[in-house]
């Protein structure tokens, strides 16, 4: 799995292979969306949804404290009888709403906040973190003095109340959360926020048992591809939270998912969609991808559900979205529209000048919109990024230790490239005047080149190859499956 994305590195212990996902903070946005869905949808007809069930599967909705090859190696303790009894209805709720049954028990560990924080600390890869920090520093998306490691621990401290670990196939729940659930009426455990978000986590366990979550998370993808896959995983579980909440009110999930405009109203009207204060204060390049996987992922998975029920969502795990463009515009995924491959050639002149390649990757529509927002409003940046067709960003280290960046971007049409050029030019103009000569925004047809912190003497070497790239693009073909 690619870890260059700062959002992914910073939450790699939350959402990538072998790491937990938050059941508070960002996930609370999903819980709030679930609550909002009942108010937005009160005028819809009540009734049952078509569910995809595996009726031949063995049923087990009791958490198993002792099962699992690695469960006993984890910090913490096993749940007691009352705690296991409180978790059982949450597993059953996940089964009921998702239309899948547990094939085997889910081992459970109860950990303190300190034990969870230590898990996070131990799983932060400092090398990957520094790689990502430099990559996004080159785009101006991080303050140079930001303590990224400290920010991560702060964000995680407010985020995690529990997680499902697909590597060890273990559910971990924070001790105060499970104690509160055990004290409550078991019939009401799913009505609390803690219970509802644990339903979300049990959906991840179902994804793992039925849809190969762990194996899929290990696949190599670009930054954009990782963000897209995370949106499928988290969007599916958020959709289940919404569906469960609507079901308790006698409302049909399909009445919502067959109406994409209403789904977006649910997201817009959900309170607290910015997460907790630490996440809200984090740089946009961390915050936006993390929230998008829950909120935009919900709309993406909801659109698939509206077309074909949960069978349509299951099918997406066999053919995951390749880009955040497909997530942000589900109709493009359904139409089979795929991103264009963009390659940046080697530049002998840059090598001779002592520049060395730090990293290279595809950021996609979502993270491109975060970059463009530096030159205007979020809405204008999102509109400008909407015509994205493909990109590659290459970050260099200069001999003086500073960074430089080349970004080749393809757009659907020349008109959309022109719109993006205007917004990108505002990003350049927001820089101090002394830095602007090393930055360029160049458009040719439906191609756009962004140069950052590259000495002007090297610009001509890049421009010649960019013009060749633009000429090769021509009119965009519809790249279909």
Q: Can you spell out the DSSP letters for 269-336? A: H-TTTT-SHHHHHS-HHHHHHHHHHHHHHHHHHHHHHHHHHHHHHHHHHHS---SHHHHHSHHHHHTT
Interatomic CA distance for residues 185 and 174, integer angstroms:
19
User: Mean pLDDT across the stretch 461-472?
Assistant: 95
Radius of gyration of the chain (CA): 23
Closest CA to 112 of 179, 164, 167, 21: 179
Alpha helices for 123-162 (secondary structure H): 126-137, 148-159
CA 293 to chain centre: 4
409 contacts 342 by C-beta, under 8 angstroms = yes
20 contacts 160 by C-beta, under 8 angstroms = yes
Is 60 exceeded by the pLDDT of residue 474? Answer: yes
User: Mean pLDDT across the stretch 12-34?
Assistant: 46
Phi and psi at residue 7, in whole multiples of 5°? -60, -40
Q: Percent of the chain, pLDDT > 90?
A: 67
Strand ranges, E, within 316-402: 356-361, 388-397
| Residue-wise pLDDT tens digits, 258-307 | 999 999 998 887 765 666 788 889 999 999 999 999 999 999 999 999 99
User: Mean pLDDT across the stretch 190-194?
Assistant: 76
DSSP H or E run through 471? helix 459-473
Least confident of 57-66, 159-168, 176-185, 429-438: 57-66
| Residue-wise pLDDT tens digits, 119-177 | 888 888 899 999 999 999 999 999 999 999 888 888 876 667 788 989 899 999 999 99
Q: Can you spell out the DSSP letters for 5-52? A: SHHHHHTHHHHSTT----SSTHHHHHHHHHHHHHHHTTTSPP-PPP--
In terms of phi and psi (left: phi > 0; alpha: psi -120 to 50; beta: otherwise), the region of 359 is: beta
Phi and psi at residue 61, in whole multiples of 5°? -115, 25
Residue 19: per-residue pLDDT: 37
Least confident of 30-44, 63-77, 102-116, 460-474: 30-44
Strand partners, 77: 110
Is 60 exceeded by the pLDDT of residue 60? Answer: no
DSSP H or E run through 408? strand 403-411
Is 70 exceeded by the pLDDT of residue 4? Answer: no
Token pair of 44 as six digits = 């819809």
| Residue-wise pLDDT tens digits, 434-458 | 999 999 999 999 999 999 999 999 9
Is 80 exceeded by the pLDDT of residue 382? Answer: yes
CA 23 to chain centre: 14
Confidence of residue 351 (pLDDT cuts 50, 70, 90): very high
User: Mean pLDDT across the stretch 332-357?
Assistant: 97
20 contacts 164 by C-beta, under 8 angstroms = yes
**pTM (2 d.p.):** 0.89
In terms of residues, how long is the chain? 481
Confidence of residue 54 (pLDDT cuts 50, 70, 90): very low
User: Mean pLDDT across the stretch 177-205?
Assistant: 85
Closest CA to 343 of 385, 417, 389, 393: 393
Interatomic CA distance for residues 466 and 461, integer angstroms:
9
User: Mean pLDDT across the stretch 212-235?
Assistant: 95
297 contacts 234 by C-beta, under 8 angstroms = yes
């Amino acid at each position: 799995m690619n870890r260059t994305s700062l959002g992914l590195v910073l939450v790699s212990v939350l959402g990538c292979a072998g790491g937990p996902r938050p059941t508070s903070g960002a996930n609370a946005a999903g819980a709030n969306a679930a609550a909002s869905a009942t108010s937005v949808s009160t005028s819809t007809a009540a009734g049952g949804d078509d569910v995809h069930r595996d009726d031949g599967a063995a049923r087990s909705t009791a958490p198993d404290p002792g099962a699992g090859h690695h469960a006993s190696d984890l910090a913490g303790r096993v749940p007691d009888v009352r705690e296991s009894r409180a978790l059982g209805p949450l597993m059953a709720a996940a089964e009921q709403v998702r239309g899948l049954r547990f094939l085997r028990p889910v081992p459970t560990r109860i950990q303190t906040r300190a034990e969870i924080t230590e898990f996070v600390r131990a799983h932060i890869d400092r090398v990957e973190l520094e790689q990502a920090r430099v990559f996004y520093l080159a785009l101006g998306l991080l303050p140079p003095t930001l303590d990224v490691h400290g920010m991560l621990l702060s964000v995680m401290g407010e985020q995690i109340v529990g997680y499902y670990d697909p590597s060890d196939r273990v559910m971990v729940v924070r001790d105060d959360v499970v104690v509160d659930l055990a004290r409550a009426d078991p019939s009401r455990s799913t009505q609390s926020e803690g219970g509802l978000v644990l339903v979300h986590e049990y959906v991840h366990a179902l994804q793992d048992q039925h849809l190969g979550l762990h194996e899929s998370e290990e696949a190599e993808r670009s930054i954009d591809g990782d963000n897209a896959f995370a949106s499928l995983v988290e969007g599916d579980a958020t959709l289940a939270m919404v569906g469960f909440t609507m079901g308790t009110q006698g409302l049909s999930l399909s009445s919502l998912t067959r109406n994409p405009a209403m789904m977006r109203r649910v997201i817009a009207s959900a309170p607290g969609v910015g997460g907790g204060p630490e996440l809200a204060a984090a740089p946009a390049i961390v915050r936006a991808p993390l929230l998008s996987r829950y909120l935009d992922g919900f709309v993406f998975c909801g659109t698939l559900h509206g077309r074909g029920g949960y069978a349509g969502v299951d099918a997406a795990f066999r053919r995951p979205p390749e880009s955040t463009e497909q997530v942000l515009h589900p109709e493009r995924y359904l139409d089979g529209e795929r991103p264009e491959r963009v390659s940046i050639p080697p530049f002998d002149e840059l090598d001779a000048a002592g520049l060395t390649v730090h990293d290279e990757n595809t950021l996609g529509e979502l993270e491109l919109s975060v970059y463009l927002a530096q030159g205007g409003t979020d809405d204008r940046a999102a509109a400008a990024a909407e015509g994205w067709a493909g990109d590659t960003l290459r970050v260099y280290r200069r001999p003086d230790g500073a960074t430089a960046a080349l970004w080749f971007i393809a757009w659907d049409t020349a008109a959309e490239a022109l719109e993006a050029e205007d917004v990108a030019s505002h990003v350049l103009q927001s820089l101090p005047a002394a830095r602007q000569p090393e930055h360029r925004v160049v458009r040719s047809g439906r191609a756009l080149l962004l140069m950052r912190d590259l000495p002007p003497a090297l610009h001509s070497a890049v421009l010649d190859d960019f013009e060749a790239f633009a000429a090769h693009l021509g009119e965009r073909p519809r790249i279909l499956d």
